[in-house]
């Protein structure tokens, strides 16, 4: 009986990037500010080519989804860990 050879496992791309707690706290603070003060920010999202510009309308703690309303009144549901950077609109 021939021995089976294992094929090397492919490395899976992480679902979310690993970041330190300080970065996550800073993003959470800015998202809260955007929601409370209705401020418009530009969001850099993991695995998205384009920047998202809008304001946070809801933060769901259970699903960790951030609901962002863009200038066309469309709602984008983005996972908190997928938000890489939040910056002021220039």
**How does pLDDT run across 30-88, given as a tens digit for each residue?**
999 999 999 999 999 999 999 999 999 999 999 999 999 998 999 999 999 999 999 99
* Domain locations in the chain as residue ranges: 42-90
Residue 77 β-bridge partners: 67
Q: Within 13 Å, how many C-alpha atoms sit on residue 67's CB side?
A: 10
**How far is 75 from 67, CA to CA, in rounded Å?**
6
Gyration radius (Cα) of the chain, Å: 18
**15 confidence band (pLDDT: 50, 70, 90):** confident
CB atoms within 10 A of CB 3: 4
């Amino acid at each position: 009986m021939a021995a089976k050879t294992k094929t090397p496992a492919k490395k899976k791309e992480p679902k979310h990037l690993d970041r330190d707690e300080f970065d996550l706290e800073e993003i959470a603070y800015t998202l809260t500010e955007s929601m409370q003060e209705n401020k418009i920010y530009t969001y850099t999202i993991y695995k998205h080519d384009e920047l998202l510009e809008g304001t946070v309308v809801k933060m769901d703690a259970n699903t960790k989804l951030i609901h962002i309303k863009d200038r066309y009144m469309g709602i984008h549901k983005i996972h908190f860990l997928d938000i890489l950077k939040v910056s002021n609109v220039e």
